[in-house]
Structure 1
Amino acid sequence: MSSNSRIIELASIIYEQTSKVDAYLASKNLPTPSFDVSSPLTFPIEVQASRDATLNATDELTALMLGPIGCVTPPNYSWTCVTAIQRFGIANSFPSAGTSTFGEIALACSLSESDTRRLLRQAMTFYIFHEPSPGVVVHTAASKALAENAGLGAYIDWMSVEILPSYSRIVDAMETWPNSEEPNEAGFSVANRTDISLFDTVAQHPRRAERMATAMSYLHNTPGYDIKPLLKSFNWGAAARGLLVDIGGAGGSVSKEIARYLPEIKCIVQDTPAVVQSSKVPEDLQKGERLRFMEHDFFKEQPVKGADIYLLCLVLHDWSDKYATKILSNLIPSLKKGACIVVFDLCLPPPGDLSPYQSRRMRATDIFMKGITNAKERDAVEWGQLFKSANPMFKLSEVKTPKGSALSTICATWEGENTFSD
């Protein structure tokens, strides 16, 4: 085989890029990646490009070495053992710097020793826990993270209880309700044997609502979901001294960031009565009503007239086009000429723009949304079509994805006249 075969090219890329990462870490006296419990959870931003290149090449090389059959039967069975570790509190059953045995863990977690051994030895193939000698168990960096990061635990709970069962029943839902855009005719509906949507179901069960909120908070604090790059890249113009309405803004975390970034802007956060009643305005934003909360159902007409910006942060991807169009249409009676509808959300890249490794998570998220509420992620063309379907007077003026961000800024301007009377 010639030296320029694809697998050799990929191996060379991996060597070249990992050498850059290693050199940078050494120059800063930082530890190299390992499975040890002391290993850092994240990488310095300075090596992100080399890390991405390494992961892209590793992913492609793995696929080539698996072969065609291996690609369609990927050897990833980690969710069952990870779910068990989380649900039974296995990671917290002994100190991160200590050792334990399968028998001791089984006793602490009310499991059989046989099941404990089988689950953990499967987890160890994913570098979660380690067996340094027969029957002895120690933590790795991954199992330590499970023990100490409550947000990560809530995310795993949420994925295993709500998302994965829904994901596994998507095809059944598609057969039962062909071409449906209804939120109560999705994989979630089949998996839970219910005729109400995920959001309505969660609203009836405080424990599930709390788990979902904690999981979302964890997810939105992972690398790529920080909104600061979006704030810096967006051209605020005169709106920086105007009024912003944060629709479906939950506890106001995004508006708080905006208000602190733009000292002259005023923000109104809208959400359900329960969310508004439990939310508080920080002391530094109370003066001059920099931030306030308002009860509002975004499937009803927008009550705040003439705002400069109406913000939808990670809202529209929760809904199919049918319902996302309704949300946008309900803004129209309150718009002044030149008002901006700003969306902070995922924007799927055109095919081929990113490597399969880079685009896989975004594409998986799109299918997850299909599974839970018949919702979807959208590409730039679909965002434009969505605004146009709400009203042709919306003009898509900007779609921008800051470097390193998983989120994009999608902005549409209202080119019609004022739709309300002063």
Structure 2
Amino acid sequence: MAAHTIEQLSETIARTSAQLSLGLKSQGFASPTVNDVVKGPNFEAINVKASRELLDAAYELEALVLGPSKMLSLMAFIYHDISSLGALLEFNIPGLIPLDGTATIAELALKSSLSEDKLTRFIRYATTNFIFREPSPGVVAHTAISAAMVRDPKFCAFLLFVTVNCANAEISIPAACKKWPQSEKLSECAVNEAYGTNDTFFQWLSKDAERQDRFDRGMAGLSGNDNGLAGRPQQLDIEIYPWVEKLGPKAVVVDVGGGSGHISRVLAHTYPEFTVTVQDHPKAISAAKSDPDLPPNLSYQEHDFFSPQPLHGGDVYLFRKVFHNWPRTEAVSIIRALVPALKPGARVLVSEFLMPGAERGESLLEDKLVRQMDLQMMGAFNSKERTAKEYAALFQEADERLKYQAKYQFPGDQKSCIFEAVWEGDS
């Protein structure tokens, strides 16, 4: 990564800020502030290149001006960003404040049952992250960020699970690595260290109904959200890959481990001559398959992807957000379970984040988002986000006849990727 002087960073910030300002004016938007409660413009939609360049420059300028000691201290205590946000979500404080008004901390404490002293400290810490503002002592109003939390309760369910349930495990990564420095086992990772369990992540999850429900609601909120933290809109998987060009107009698509099938629904609607089947465990598909509004070309099938693939002769087998949950041994087993069902020319598509190597992409913060998710997978599953070379190696290890072909990305999105392999065997 090239480093920049304070003068260079200042020039970049001035230039890109001016570009975004002009873009706002050209589209009829007033220039917003962090305190604006009315939902404002998406700066990446205004000018993605300028917005990312500005963010990276501001981030680098912060590190430069803070200096090493202050920067490291802020990083070391970052878990209080998590603890304060988690507490505010746990007690639904954003939802207790009217979007167009205010509430006193005393009122919020009474409604939430949290002590006024603790609530005051959480709120005032959160204001350092532009979450809430205090227009007068003891009186709280929304900012753009806190208002967004009110408007998107599904995404807040995801944030609640991350801050309250996952955080304990993720900060135990160093201790887990010290205990099991070479392990890639599902039951020897940070979840096991943090919670004193021998269970894998999903086993641990299932033993607490409230925790499982919070996870389910959180994942649903994540899937339906298209902001930078959550990843990408559902349609992106459809837009990245040349479906008809590669598979023909009447392709047979198998969405393996597809959950409720939110991606396959979009695919089935987009290509009504496709035959699309979503496979997953009974609980994952039970409600979805009884939906009376399902596209006529979409169906559901119960299937454990570690077992031999029952649907033979598909044109493509799609795995979306599956492999990053599994270490190498299990990932290879999932791929091998497909082999008996593959016909010559059948494709295996893996939709995941593209993990950068030593090289830096166009955006430092985009890289950081991928690397955050990579460490998240380490803490929960002893797994990882993978590079293109690592996916090629997984296909090769599973079966030499399954040849890695290409990766497909959407312009301007360095994270999201579809990795393609083609079966070159006889059957």
TM-score range, shorter chain: over 0.9
* Whole-angstrom CA distance in 1 between matches of 2:421 and 2:99: 50
- Cα gap change, 1:245 to 1:281, in 2 (>3 Å): farther
Distance 1:264 1:88 in 2: 48
Of 141, 147, 164, the residue aligned with 2:150 is 147
CA contact 2:29–2:41 (8 Å) conserved in 1: no
Q: Which residues of 2 match residues 10-409 of structure 1 at below 5 A?
A: 10-34=9-33, 35-40=35-40, 42-43=42-43, 45-75=45-75, 76=78, 77-220=80-223, 221-223=225-227, 224-236=231-243, 237-280=246-289, 285-287=294-296, 290-354=297-361, 355-405=363-413, 406-409=415-418
Structure 1: gaps spanning 5 or more residues: none
Give the conservation status (yes or no) of the 8 Å contact 1:188–1:371. Answer: yes
Relative to 1, partners in 2 of residues 1:192 and 1:240: Cα closer, same or farther, differing over 3 Å? Answer: farther
Shift in Å, 1:41: 6.7
TM-score w.r.t. length of structure 2: 0.91
Residues 112 and 209 from structure 1, CA distance in 2 versus in 1: closer, same or farther, beyond 3 angstroms?
closer
1:252 maps to a residue whose letter is G
The answer to whether the 8 Å contact 1:183/1:373 transfers is yes
Q: Residue 239 of structure 1: CA displacement?
A: 4.1
Work out the CA distance in 1 between the residues paired with 2:12 and 2:118. Answer: 41
* 2:265/2:295 contact within 8 Å kept: no
Q: Distance in 1 between matches of 2:221 and 2:65?
A: 34
Q: Distance in 2 between matches of 1:239 and 1:319?
A: 31
SS of the residue aligned with 1:185? Answer: coil
* 1:216/1:240 CA distance change after superposition, 3 Å: farther
8 Å CA contact retained: 1:162, 1:188:
no
* Other structure's SS at 2:278 match: strand
2: CA distance between counterparts of 1:92 and 1:46? 30
% identity of equivalent residues: 31
Q: CA deviation at 1:240?
A: 3.9
TM-score normalised by structure 1 residue count: 0.93
Counterpart CA distance in 1 for 2:240 and 2:201 is 34
Q: How many angstroms apart in 1 are the aligned matches of 2:21 and 2:38?
A: 17
CA distance in 2: counterparts of 1:346 and 1:66, whole angstroms: 31
Q: Check the 8 A contact 2:315/2:347 in 1, yes or no.
A: yes
Secondary structure of 1:164's aligned partner = helix
Inter-CA distance 312–170: structure 2 relative to 1 (3 Å threshold): same
> Which segment is superposed worse, 400-409 or 220-229?
220-229
Partners in 1 of 2:39 and 2:300 — Cα distance? 42
Shift of 1:40: 1.9
Out of 350-359 and 267-276, give the one that drifted further: 350-359
Q: Distance in 2 between matches of 1:273 and 1:283?
A: 18
C-alpha RMSD over aligned residues:
2.0
Secondary structure, in 3 states, of the residue corresponding to 1:161? helix
Count how many residue pairs are aligned between Structure 1 and Structure 2.
Answer: 413
